Amino acid sequence: MRADAARNRARVLEVAYETFAADGLSVPIDEIARRAGVGAGTIYRHFPTKDALFQAVIAERIRGVVDEGRALLAEADPADALFMFLRSMVLQWGAADRGLVDALAGSGIDVNTVVPEAEDEYLAVLGDLLAAGQKAGTVRRDVTVSDVKALLVGCQAMQAYNDDVAERVTSVVFDGLRAKGRR
């Protein structure tokens, strides 16, 4: 791919992320093209449909999340790593990507099918974090990766629903997730 083409692709992806997150999925392609300073045709050269563009945006985001998880696994105290990751996902990512989450919800798109390999990596990281916490004794042993993923989705929904109480309700959920006697 030519250098300018690659630059365009990256720019479109970035602008699309910001725009979808801010204005939802219903924003016209032309608007994204305008903000990115390219023609509509250029977007279609890189992404065959609007949907494909959206999926690329999601995949990109998930990749970032996975990286953050791996970093925590490598550097943080295993006893806290899962909670740190979840908190980060909720308070930072959740807030920033509200529009994306809503757009995903409202459009019948399933992340798992959209970017299977990204999802797989994501679950792997989450699983490692969970195992580390359980081994350290800070996390209930009767929860699975699926449970944690669901809890995360829920916490992000709470954050999205009411930013002001996000901190406290997240703590409530974390309390529920903690191993007994460790509250």
In the complex, which residues of this chain contact its own copies (CB under 8 A)? 24-25, 101-103, 105-108, 140, 142-144, 146-147, 149-151, 153-158, 160-162, 164-166, 168-169, 171-177, 180, 183
Q: Which range binds DNA by CB under 7 A, 33-41, 105-113, 126-134, 168-176?
A: 33-41
Q: Could you tell me the CA-to-CA distances from 36 to 13, 58, 127 in Å, in that order? A: 9, 18, 37
Among 10, 22, 28, 176, binds DNA (CB under 7 A): 28
SS3 call for 178: strand
Distance CA 113, CA 181 (A): 39
Question: What, of its own copies, DNA, none, does residue 160 touch, CB below 5 to 8 Å by kind?
Answer: its own copies
Q: Which residue has the tokens 């529009």?
A: 99
Among 10, 51, 117, 176, binds DNA (CB under 7 A): 51
φ/ψ of 178, rounded to 5, equals -70, 150
Among 14, 18, 23, 29, binds DNA (CB under 7 A): 29
* Cβ-based nearer residue to its own copies, 8 or 170: 170
Question: What, of its own copies, DNA, none, does residue 41 touch, CB below 5 to 8 Å by kind?
Answer: DNA
Residue pair 100/21 in contact (Cβ under 8 Å)? The answer is: yes
Locate all alpha helices (DSSP H) within the chain, ordered by sequence: 3-23, 29-36, 40-46, 50-75, 78-88, 95-96, 98-105, 111-114, 116-136, 145-161, 166-177
Q: Which residue has the tokens 């929860």?
A: 143
Question: What, of DNA, its own copies, none, does residue 105 touch, CB below 5 to 8 Å by kind?
Answer: its own copies
Q: How many CB atoms lie within 10 A of CB 92?
A: 12
Among 18, 24, 44, 63, binds DNA (CB under 7 A): 44
Binding residues (CB under 7 A) for DNA: these are 1-5, 7-9, 26, 28-30, 37-42, 44-46, 48-51
